[in-house]
Structure 1
């Protein structure tokens, strides 16, 4: 038996969830949970929903339960910045990226595959969620970070991906701020409301999939007939279990999850800007910026004329965010916002929240069987949407014996490297993050 008493807790107010068109959708009532299913998926983020879709596609007659401890789309999958990039365009904040050019080409192929699946579901089910090909800017302010932008340009060229180098006044006119000196614009990036996307997708799951939110799982029991044990003591028998709970997997006690850790990040979204406040945004289209330096702030100018900012990274010794850390993030979020938009200094944040990002020491995800008939996938480097969807899709193929070259590659490549135990893990990661912050300078 693998047990946990650690459950995800929302930190702050998730703006993407509050503004989602599917916020008020009602899924199955937890009182309707049956004693047995063919498959049980725990964690209804991009990984879990992708797994449920694929399990049903492979076996339309299977009875499937998808369970989440919180409202669907409220936690990690719904707390990212809303970027869906096809290529790996960011360096790891913690850990060391050992991906080869062949790995990058595989990732590009896998990303395209799962994004196409999402777009197909959206079209077929006539879902109305934000999913815009607005592209992404990888931008720098500090001169010493321009070399990293040059390296990214070479990387995109090797992958054969289109991009545009933008500088100076042209960049300022596109963004509505003169903060950045140089950027690469990658068009093949989708911007979205992540909570709205995941919650919308969950509403379109086939009828053989039952979705239960606000339902905590306290344990799983391996065996020929594994069981899922709910926090209220109910037991669910099944053929196989898929756990897509990211870093919370480590709290169940699986040996293979000992090399999974996490960081906290913090985000905020302003109120809608007034016409006067939008004076510098004339003819500016919605955009998203991620800093070239991995510690740098992420920003978006949204279609409804708000500004989103995410910054302030710290190591998540405790997966849930302590109130003291959450309160401290106010300073860093305001600083990042005002540095870029001093003329909007008096604009308040309407929403502020904290989130959790899983990572591994070599940026390789965890994938596969963690105990008899219990399978898991954990993302590894902050590219949560596509990587989670890949893990969920191919975990379903793995347990249903649907072989493919993609699955062969994932089984071969997705193995996290060793991470030291506590307290060395926290000490090392905290020192590493502080060094990154110092080098980032005003990019924070």
Structure 2
């Protein structure tokens, strides 16, 4: 996208074409206008349109341009926060409500894929959270205990079983979550858009929002060449929020994350690495993740931006890290390299915001955007349709809290990842 191979990499090359769209021109009217064509916005638009509401989506660039089209494609349940900690963070009612909703969120994704026939390389064999050392193993034991106490289908695997499933003896154990899986994320976003259009939604791309003002009983949302008048506004821009609604950007710390994809591996090598096709991430502070795509490419990622010194540091680290994990690979070359930004919040939980009368938003997915974004989009649609009230939402309404020293923290993450990966590459 935008003639930049490092924005969406492999996913742009292998995804089916996006449905045809144009930029917005002129003034139109709808029941709701959705800002952002990522998982949250497209899910909201789809569910609104299916219920008979008139809905317009305004996307500044292209469908799936933000984190929705760049992430590694792990469809996970829950968030980073330990299950037992959620009631302490949100209170018993919201904590229990959010746990249930996010525990079921991957199934919402998979059901939409099946219902609408979305070709997105779906794999439903679960995900593996892999323990690095004794500390990581202790963390996974506690996480397993808490999820299992709630009846979740998660299995704690020892080092030997983990080695059989992953293809390396680098880990002390793992947590297999059978609710989860992987998808091709940009293909999924484009498929949601196509389904929303079939249901009656209107999607306009290359239409960045310049301004939003109350206009009588609703809102007038303006782009450079047109406007939409609507009673409801859904702000679904998350980490890619620009000048409008700056309070969202102010409370999100951008964490850069990159992905590298090998050329398709031989059938023999594919049988020795992730033979059951789970997606993987580890317990390191600067974590790594990996999974296969449908063509047999190994997609490997970590924290960092592929710009400046990072353009060489991170791929060099990736080659050495893969060789340490899987010596059978030998020296690997990467066919694709790309990166984007994750919106991180202070407590590692998403936020619900009312940004004005009938202006609502969920943001801050902390690297867990696919399943939560999809289910939160559906939740916003239900709110607008009157099927639920604000009191029924999975998160409480709280005031935005700008992050102190946000720019410093973002620079620290980017430079710190470069230093860590440069140092690791020397050993």
Q: Same fold (TM over 0.5)?
A: yes
Partner Cα separation in structure 2 for residue 308 and residue 181 of structure 1: 22
Partner Cα separation in structure 1 for residue 408 and residue 115 of structure 2: 49
- Displacement after TM superposition at 1:44 (Å): 0.8
Does residue 17 (structure 1) correspond to residue 2 (structure 2)? The answer is no
- For residue 41 of structure 2, what is the aligned residue in structure 1? 48
Please list the CA deviations of residues 353-392 of structure 1 after superposition, one character each: whole Å capped at 9, or x if unmatched: 0111111112232323213443322133221112222332
Partner Cα separation in structure 2 for residue 84 and residue 325 of structure 1: 27
- Displacement after TM superposition at 1:40 (Å): 1.4
Instruction: Tell me: CA distance 1:409–1:127, structure 2 relative to 1, closer, same or farther (3 Å).
Output: closer
Query: Bigger CA drift: 175-184 or 251-260?
Result: 251-260
- For residue 349 of structure 2, what is the aligned residue in structure 1? 364
Please list the CA deviations of residues 282-330 of structure 1 after superposition, one character each: whole Å capped at 9, or x if unmatched: x92212111123422011134432211111247xxxxxx7555445432
Partner Cα separation in structure 2 for residue 13 and residue 249 of structure 1: 18
Does residue 226 (structure 1) correspond to residue 219 (structure 2)? The answer is yes
The answer to whether the 8 A contact 2:108-2:371 is kept is no
Does residue 158 (structure 1) correspond to residue 139 (structure 2)? The answer is no
The answer to whether the 8 A contact 1:78-1:194 is kept is yes
- For residue 408 of structure 1, what is the aligned residue in structure 2? 392
Partner Cα separation in structure 2 for residue 336 and residue 258 of structure 1: 35
Where in structure 2 are the equivalents of 1:12-411 lying within 5 Å? 12-20=7-15, 22-23=16-17, 25-30=18-23, 34-58=27-51, 60=52, 62-88=53-79, 98=89, 105-111=96-102, 114-205=105-196, 206-224=198-216, 225-231=218-224, 233-249=225-241, 251-255=243-247, 257-275=249-267, 277-278=269-270, 280-281=272-273, 284-313=275-304, 322-403=307-388, 408-411=392-395
Partner Cα separation in structure 2 for residue 397 and residue 274 of structure 1: 47
Corresponding residue SS for 1:36: strand
Corresponding residue SS for 2:28: coil
Give the count of matched residue pairs. 417
- Displacement after TM superposition at 1:88 (Å): 3.2
The answer to whether the 8 A contact 2:38-2:189 is kept is yes
- For residue 426 of structure 1, what is the aligned residue in structure 2? 407
- Displacement after TM superposition at 1:415 (Å): 5.7
Partner Cα separation in structure 1 for residue 385 and residue 114 of structure 2: 26
- Displacement after TM superposition at 1:189 (Å): 0.7
Instruction: Tell me: CA distance 1:335–1:202, structure 2 relative to 1, closer, same or farther (3 Å).
Output: same
Partner Cα separation in structure 2 for residue 82 and residue 109 of structure 1: 22
- Displacement after TM superposition at 1:45 (Å): 0.8
Corresponding residue SS for 1:217: coil
TM-score by length of 1: 0.81
Instruction: Tell me: CA distance 1:99–1:38, structure 2 relative to 1, closer, same or farther (3 Å).
Output: closer
Partner Cα separation in structure 2 for residue 186 and residue 177 of structure 1: 19
Partner Cα separation in structure 2 for residue 108 and residue 192 of structure 1: 22
Query: Bigger CA drift: 134-143 or 362-371?
Result: 362-371
- Displacement after TM superposition at 1:184 (Å): 1.7
Please list the CA deviations of residues 177-227 of structure 1 after superposition, one character each: whole Å capped at 9, or x if unmatched: 222231121211121111111211211114420122333223323343422
TM-score by length of 2: 0.84
Q: CA RMSD in A?
A: 3.5
Gaps of 5+ in 1: 1-6, 315-320
Gaps of 5+ in 2: none
Instruction: Tell me: CA distance 1:122–1:34, structure 2 relative to 1, closer, same or farther (3 Å).
Output: farther
Corresponding residue SS for 1:392: helix
- Displacement after TM superposition at 1:259 (Å): 1.9
